[in-house]
Chains A and B, each alone.
Chain A
Amino acid sequence: MSAALKPEAPAPLVRARDLTVRFVNRDATVHAVNGVDLDLAQGEVLCLLGESGSGKSVTLRALMKLLPRQAKVGGSIEVAGRDVQAMSEGQLADFRGGDIAMIFQEPMTALDPVFTIGRQIAEAVQRHEGVSRSAADARALELLELVQIPSAKRRLAAYPHELSGGLRQRAMIAVALACKPKLLLADEPTTALDATVQIQVLLLLRELQEKLGMGVIFVTHDLGVAGEIADRVAVMYAGRVVEEAAIGPFMGGPMHPYAQGLLGATVHPSMRGKRLTTIPGAPPSLEKEPTSCAFAPRCPTAEPACLAGVPPARLVRPDRMARCIRIPAA
């Protein structure tokens, strides 16, 4: 789908086809991701937008092969021209942190509490670039300055618990960027931050992305955050991408009924005194793989044909993909 959106693009940084993830245990199987195709060009920012349980974080982790053993991953994933599924543990150790890095929602659990910030950054540099300890320490200082941590020199010796939430998030970004990855995966990195700090970290990420020319896949549930950072947005529902579009046209008017509902349910200033539009019901449980449009039971415009099969991904506009049979072709 997005391959069709960008026919002239050179070798994409990320190319996933028919990605599926199932979590299998004795009692049940959860169909978390049910056929996701993703393409990301070099230096592009894609937001995966969705509510809890939509499969956005699982998709992100699959790209880095970070899922636990009981997860059954299917389909193909290529990152920077390499087949992620086929990599050995040794190859993965080089790949993670070198070509691809990840930042998480909660820096306190992502950083190691018993090492200083400086050591954690320098460790990554030493491991991947094989430089001396003093060269790695110098690089750690540069990185702390890059992520705009004030009095960086002093902060090198700080432990994670000694930093405020915003500084900790910056330190985690510094660890992730230590080896200049081509692809940065961000899993709700600003969700746990206060409003005044969230905007600082978003602007920092945008600046670093432009400066370093990284590709970024940014998972969020917040439309406002996507509006600030994304070039393109892919909306997920029940383990599938239901709409994909450039951010501008998307914010101007989503086409898939679920995406429309999501935008309508996001409280913003002009809504005061009006009744909020809501999406009735709740997302499906995913213990069975959806065999029809997963949103149909909650959809205001559903018709019998919606239950006949999974709606195919189709280009509803020259640059927009949606999985909905009700959207008329342009």
Chain B
Amino acid sequence: MTALTQAPDRGGPAQPLLEVTGLVKHFPIHGGLLGRQVATVRAVDGVSLTIRKGETLGIVGESGCGKSTTARLLMRLLDPDAGEMVFDGEQVGGTDQTGGVTLRDYRRQVQMVFQDSYASLNPRLTIEETIAFSPQVHGVSGREARERAHELLAAVGLAPAQFARRYPHEVSGGQRQRINIARALALQPRLVILDEPVSALDKSVEAQVLNLLVDLKEKFGLTYAFISHDLNVVQYISDRVLVMYLGQVAEQGPVEEIYERPAHPYTRALLASRPSMDPAKRRTAPPLTGDPPNPVNPPSGCRFRTRCTLAEDVCAQRVPVAAPLSAGHEAACHAVMPGSGHSAAPRIAA
């Protein structure tokens, strides 16, 4: 029996770690006397994204935009209705016959940390048992798994002698989130999906956990998908950012491009909704009115058009496709797409 090691890099640095195309997940709503399907929540509706090796991809959006469903799809806690996932050059969900990476191997290489640090730990296992659990499932001896658990506890800043034998209810929220992170690292993953990992924490603890995540990424050679509704946190930690709205990607690009040259009107509104942090320069008018529409019945064409100040007829008629703006920066908006028919769209050079 040997200790787990991080799976080797197969495709080389140019091969994205995870490439997802056309991911779709619809949830049926049942109702009525016979429990028939009466509607569909289009939670994720055609999301394509790429996570490069060693980077942090930030995913932002408001509640109901599908960011958490996307996280669960990436982790394969949910089966997508459509779409393709390629992990380091191999199809995810393959079998020995078809080739590709099996779900069992995929889940060893991809781990997740959830927002609710308490609900995601088994209350009847001690902290060392929790962290040692999955390595044992993957064939590591109990003694070795416990030793490794102690190393990981030390790595996340919790003294093993003090914490290993405690139960989840005996530690604070920030400490619990550190335990969740340690557990996610126990299988030596390559990709860690962080779904709102600091949202439930107090500000002073949030900063501690963010610093820890930065350190661990370096130390263990990790790649992160970081999901959050907090634009400042995403800006702090991400290399590239993906902005989601109602189950679709509105804009994606390098973090400086998104925050300094946002192209999609939704991204601009999100950025302008942040409190100013300067009482002398308070916000005077809200950048957007109303709430995000219900994903059960999204607007036709561009889903943002009902709240968009630039909306024109074309926005209701056609779904915008992602228009490239600069290297790696693209936005799905008729107003930035040449030849879309929107009055603000750039002209196509003849």
Establish whether residues B286 and A194, one from each chain, have CB atoms under 8 Å apart when the complex forms. Answer: no
A329 to B204, CA, bound (A): 28
Residues of A within 8 Å of B278, CB to CB, are: 227, 251
Contact with A along B216-254 (1 / 0, CB 8 A): 000000000000011111011000000000000000000
Establish whether residues B211 and A278, one from each chain, have CB atoms under 8 Å apart when the complex forms. Answer: yes
Contacts A200-B286, A251-B279; A51 near B204 (Cβ below 8 A) = yes
| B207 lies within 8 A of chain A by Cβ | yes
Nearest B residue (CB) for A204? B286
Contact with A along B158-188 (1 / 0, CB 8 A): 0000000000000010100000000000000
Name A99-141 residues within 8 Å CB distance of B: none
Per DSSP, are chain A's interface residues mostly helix, strand or loop, or mixed?
helix
Contact with A along B265-293 (1 / 0, CB 8 A): 00001100111111110111111111110
Name A33-85 residues within 8 Å CB distance of B: 51-52
Nearest B residue (CB) for A266? B203
Establish whether residues A261 and B229, one from each chain, have CB atoms under 8 Å apart when the complex forms. Answer: no
Contacts A267-B207, A269-B259; A227 near B275 (Cβ below 8 A) = yes
* Least distance between A54 CB and chain B CB atoms (Å): 9
| B210 lies within 8 A of chain A by Cβ | yes
Residues of B within 8 Å of A225, CB to CB, are: 275
Residues of B within 8 Å of A51, CB to CB, are: 202-204
Residues of B within 8 Å of A154, CB to CB, are: none
Establish whether residues B279 and A248, one from each chain, have CB atoms under 8 Å apart when the complex forms. Answer: yes
Which of A4-12, A24-32, A86-94, A216-224 participates in binding chain B?
A: A216-224
Interface size of A in residues (CB-CB distance below 8 Å): 43
Establish whether residues B206 and A267, one from each chain, have CB atoms under 8 Å apart when the complex forms. Answer: yes
* Least distance between B38 CB and chain A CB atoms (Å): 16
Q: How large is the interface on B (under 10, 10 to 19, 20 to 34, 35 or more residues)?
A: 35 or more
Establish whether residues B289 and A265, one from each chain, have CB atoms under 8 Å apart when the complex forms. Answer: no
| A211 lies within 8 A of chain B by Cβ | no
Establish whether residues A272 and B229, one from each chain, have CB atoms under 8 Å apart when the complex forms. Answer: no
| A164 lies within 8 A of chain B by Cβ | yes
| A150 lies within 8 A of chain B by Cβ | yes
Residues of B within 8 Å of A171, CB to CB, are: none
Establish whether residues B276 and A272, one from each chain, have CB atoms under 8 Å apart when the complex forms. Answer: no
Establish whether residues B63 and A200, one from each chain, have CB atoms under 8 Å apart when the complex forms. Answer: no
Nearest B residue (CB) for A203? B286
| A199 lies within 8 A of chain B by Cβ | yes
Establish whether residues A227 and B277, one from each chain, have CB atoms under 8 Å apart when the complex forms. Answer: yes
* Least distance between A296 CB and chain B CB atoms (Å): 16
Contacts A203-B283, A269-B259; A196 near B288 (Cβ below 8 A) = yes
A62 to B277, CA, bound (A): 29
Establish whether residues A199 and B287, one from each chain, have CB atoms under 8 Å apart when the complex forms. Answer: yes
| A277 lies within 8 A of chain B by Cβ | yes
A307 to B233, CA, bound (A): 36
Which residue of the partner chain, among A196, A202, A265, contacts B269 with CB atoms under 8 Å? A196
Which residue of the partner chain, among B204, B233, B277, B288, contacts A279 with CB atoms under 8 Å? B204
Establish whether residues A197 and B277, one from each chain, have CB atoms under 8 Å apart when the complex forms. Answer: no
Residues of A within 8 Å of B285, CB to CB, are: 203
Contacts A164-B291, A227-B278, A228-B275; A267 near B283 (Cβ below 8 A) = no
| B40 lies within 8 A of chain A by Cβ | no
Residues of A within 8 Å of B120, CB to CB, are: none
Establish whether residues B204 and A200, one from each chain, have CB atoms under 8 Å apart when the complex forms. Answer: no
* Least distance between B267 CB and chain A CB atoms (Å): 11
* Least distance between A231 CB and chain B CB atoms (Å): 9
Residues of B within 8 Å of A267, CB to CB, are: 206-207, 210, 230, 232-233, 235-236
* Least distance between A179 CB and chain B CB atoms (Å): 27
Establish whether residues B275 and A222, one from each chain, have CB atoms under 8 Å apart when the complex forms. Answer: yes
Residues of A within 8 Å of B259, CB to CB, are: 269
Residues of A within 8 Å of B279, CB to CB, are: 227-228, 230, 247-248, 251
| B6 lies within 8 A of chain A by Cβ | no
Residues of B within 8 Å of A279, CB to CB, are: 204, 207
A52 to B282, CA, bound (A): 26
| A165 lies within 8 A of chain B by Cβ | yes
Establish whether residues A195 and B229, one from each chain, have CB atoms under 8 Å apart when the complex forms. Answer: yes
Contacts A222-B275, A228-B276, A276-B207; A199 near B283 (Cβ below 8 A) = yes
* Least distance between B23 CB and chain A CB atoms (Å): 23
| B297 lies within 8 A of chain A by Cβ | no
Establish whether residues A275 and B211, one from each chain, have CB atoms under 8 Å apart when the complex forms. Answer: yes
Residues of B within 8 Å of A271, CB to CB, are: 236
Residues of B within 8 Å of A174, CB to CB, are: none
Residues of B within 8 Å of A221, CB to CB, are: 202-203
A to B CB contacts below 8 Å, 20 in the list: A51-B202, A195-B62, A195-B229, A196-B286, A200-B288, A221-B203, A222-B203, A222-B275, A227-B278, A227-B279, A228-B275, A228-B276, A230-B279, A251-B278, A261-B204, A262-B204, A267-B233, A269-B259, A276-B211, A277-B207
Query: Apart from A200-B288, A269-B259, what are 15 other A-B pairs with CB-CB below 8 Å?
Result: A166-B290, A194-B292, A195-B229, A195-B273, A196-B62, A196-B270, A199-B273, A199-B286, A221-B203, A262-B203, A268-B277, A271-B236, A278-B208, A278-B211, A282-B205
Top 9 A-B pairs ranked by shortest CB distance?
A: A224-B275, A194-B62, A164-B291, A265-B207, A51-B202, A276-B207, A279-B204, A200-B286, A195-B273
Residues of B within 8 A of A (CB): 62-63, 172, 174, 202-208, 210-211, 214, 229-233, 235-236, 255, 259, 269-270, 273-280, 282-292
Residues of A within 8 A of B (CB): 51-52, 150, 164-167, 194-200, 202-203, 221-225, 227-228, 230, 247-248, 251, 261-262, 264-269, 271-272, 275-279, 282
